[in-house]
Amino acid sequence: MKEKIKKFIDYEFRNIPDSKEVQSAKLEAFQNLSDTYEAYIEQGMESNEAYIQAINNLGDFTQSFKETEIKTHHENPQWQQTLFVIGLVSSIFSVPIILLSTIIGSLILLNGMTTFFVSAYFYIKKAKYILEHEKDVDGHNQMLKNAYGFYHKNRLPWLFSSSYLLASAITSLSSSLLITIVFHDPLQITDFDIILFTLFTTIFLFVVIFIVMLIVLSFINHKIKKAYIQMTGDHVSH
Amino acid sequence: MIVEMLRGYSDAIILKLLDQSDSYGYLLNQEIAKQTRDQLKFTEATLYTTFKRLEQNQYIRSYYREGINNVMRKYYTITDLGRAFLSEQIKNYEIVQDILSIFLKEKDIK
């Protein structure tokens, strides 16, 4: 349990730059809370209850080191793991299906994205609940790691499907314009020309949009990773 | 609410206890809880901030010594400057108490 106390203190200090002073404050808090914990145990308190009561004496060190406080929520949902899996399967399936049918593929992609974001929202809330009520840093970090892991797996299907979707939407619009031109026909454009135009435009736009989306998603990914590190104090290995 | 109101006096309370004997965070908090019958107990963060402020003002000094369970603990001791400050704080407290009692006597409430 002492290790759990140490972990909680480390977590509370995670956004404070390390220094000799911070190390000293952490050690002092750890020793005092360990004594408090022992005293509660001697009084006959159950181990987990003694841990929570001891941790409640920690208080907020962020003022001392001028850091932002953590906002917490009070919910404890249970059903998100299944949704994460459904979301991931939808996202992966959207890739081949979107090549066969844009409408069905995009609906599956939308389902994958929505499912992921709904479950991620509740996962984050659950993580905050665990931290606030159970003072369990491992449990909190495990929740966030799980959500982040699913996000990481979803990224490539999302990138591919959404790029293709945008490319084919723009190509479809361009083809319609081309057909309109054909009817007025000063240049005598053939069906074969339209097919070639559609094919090359789709490939070209797909590549361009893919690169743009890659840049946009890298930016979003950087933000999400930063938020994840800030919330967990952990460094991602991805 | 009472704890919040008393927080302004954390410096004086800690100094008063250290004037009786050298001590460290956990023991001081135990003593405070005992003397106030658990009505007042500082968090670790409040204790740390108070110690830090008092040390910066040279009202206390710290040193390492074995505490309970044979573990090295950071002990605090009051300095002469700290005693002078405590004496001043006690006088100020008496003045504040007199002033507050003029306005906040319960029997004066209609």
Distance (Å) from the alpha carbon of B45 to chain A's nearest alpha carbon: 5
Residues of chain B with pLDDT under 50: none
Which pLDDT score, from 0 to 100, does residue A200 have? 78
- For the residues A7-19, what does the mean pLDDT come to? 85
**Which of B24, B48, B71 comes nearest A25 by C-beta?**
B48
Which pLDDT score, from 0 to 100, does residue B110 have? 64
**Minimum CA–CA partner of A36 in chain B:** B26
Which pLDDT score, from 0 to 100, does residue A160 have? 83
**Residues in chain B within 8 Å Cβ distance of A29:** 44, 48
Do B44 and A28 count as a contact with CB atoms less than 8 A apart? yes
Residue A76's alpha-carbon distances to A70, A141, A175, in angstroms, are: 18, 15, 51
Which pLDDT score, from 0 to 100, does residue B109 have? 61
- CA-nearest of A121, A136, A152 to A232 is A136
**Minimum CA–CA partner of B24 in chain A:** A32
Which pLDDT score, from 0 to 100, does residue A125 have? 85
The first and second tokens of residue B40, run together, are 């007042």
Question: Which of residues A188 and A202 earns the better pLDDT score?
Answer: A202
Contact B45, A64 (CB under 8 A): yes
- CA-nearest of B8, B7, B72 to B43 is B7
Report the range of poorest mean pLDDT among A131-140, A188-197, A211-220: A188-197
**Residues in chain B within 8 Å Cβ distance of A35:** 26, 68-69
- For the residues A24-44, what does the mean pLDDT come to? 89
Do B43 and A24 count as a contact with CB atoms less than 8 A apart? no
Distance (Å) from the alpha carbon of A13 to chain B's nearest alpha carbon: 11
How confident is the model over A50-103, as pLDDT tens digits?
999 899 888 887 777 764 334 444 444 567 778 888 888 888 988 888 888 888
- CA-nearest of A161, A154, A152 to A236 is A152
**Residues in chain B within 8 Å Cβ distance of A33:** 44
Which pLDDT score, from 0 to 100, does residue A209 have? 79
Distance CA B110, CA B104 (A): 12
Distance CA B96, CA A152 (A): 61
Distance CA A156, CA A109 (A): 12
Cβ contacts from A onto B, under 8 A: 51
Flag whether residue A35 sits within 8 Å of chain B, measured between CB atoms: yes
Residues 12-41 of chain B with CB under 8 A from chain A are: 24-26, 29-30, 41
Residue in the block written with tokens 């505490």: B67
Q: What percent of chain A has pLDDT over 70?
A: 84
Which pLDDT score, from 0 to 100, does residue B81 have? 95
Which pLDDT score, from 0 to 100, does residue A71 have? 41
Do B45 and A28 count as a contact with CB atoms less than 8 A apart? no
Question: Which of residues A171 and A122 earns the better pLDDT score?
Answer: A122
SS3 state at A153: helix
How confident is the model over A122-143, as pLDDT tens digits?
888 888 888 887 778 888 888 8
Global pTM?
Answer: 0.56
Best mutation target among A43, A57, A67 (most B Cβ atoms within 10 Å) is A57
Which pLDDT score, from 0 to 100, does residue A76 have? 45
Best mutation target among B31, B43, B44 (most A Cβ atoms within 10 Å) is B44
Flag whether residue A43 sits within 8 Å of chain B, measured between CB atoms: no
The first and second tokens of residue A121, run together, are 């929202």
If you average pLDDT over every residue of chain A, what do you get?
A: 80
